[in-house]
Copies of this chain bind each other. A is one copy, B any other.
């Protein structure tokens, strides 16, 4: 049975979901259900400050079904992220944390230095750290070395829906680390999730693409199927890419129709 293992825990689903931007909790819960996800991320900072859409979210989630993955969204420095991670553990009881250190609200790009520093501290404190990061192979290797449970390179800017814009960089990450690679941020449609899995990524994390779809629940189911398809395709072993055409049937067998008896 093909399963995803993170920090010794096994999952059937390779699709992680965010909880932001949903119209209401009902739609969110149905989308989570339809997606088949087993790992759900929640912004603890926003829970803590009572931000719109985050009040009551922990109650709205059936935590017997999902591995909760608190995240440090909104943290601009390593120090803030470490504090928020500790707060998350205190509030939720889980030591899993999706580490986000994002200094700049305009482009929402992760800080490699701050992420690395916070990851070192949190790993030492026994957290299960899943760091959001730029698509940078050396950073991925370093984060693995300090004990991160996964690496989570971005496909393109958060919430942009541009898909995988840095495929070449992610391919080098896939060759550089043994930890599960989770493509996080930027995916806009299910085919892009399938593409990540086909390349060899272990999982993807999706939020906006589902929450902002016209029909989020239907889209969640589509992502579920696409992630399964991508993973199965990876295991099935793809055909080679060829520069030129190759006929679907042996050309040598093709001769001119000669027989005047054939009723054509």
Interface residues of A (CB under 8 A from B): 18, 20-21, 43, 45-46, 48-54, 73-74, 80, 83-84, 86-87, 90, 103-113, 116, 134-139, 141-142, 156-162, 165-169, 172, 175-176, 188-192, 194-195, 198, 207-209, 211-216, 218-219, 221-226, 228-230, 232-233, 235-255, 257, 262-264
Contact = CB atoms under 8 A, between A and B. Distances in A.
A165 B162 contact: no
Q: What copy number does this chain have within its complex?
A: 4
Contacts of A212: 239-240
Contact of A111 (B51, B138, B251): B138
Nearest to A209: B239
Given A111-B138, A168-B156, A212-B239, A106 B244 contact: yes
Contact of A51 (B50, B87, B106, B253): B253
A172 to B, nearest CB: 5
26 contacts: A20-B247, A43-B249, A48-B257, A51-B249, A87-B257, A108-B245, A109-B245, A113-B139, A134-B135, A159-B245, A159-B247, A160-B244, A160-B246, A161-B240, A161-B241, A190-B194, A191-B194, A191-B229, A191-B233, A209-B238, A212-B240, A214-B237, A218-B236, A219-B232, A221-B232, A225-B226
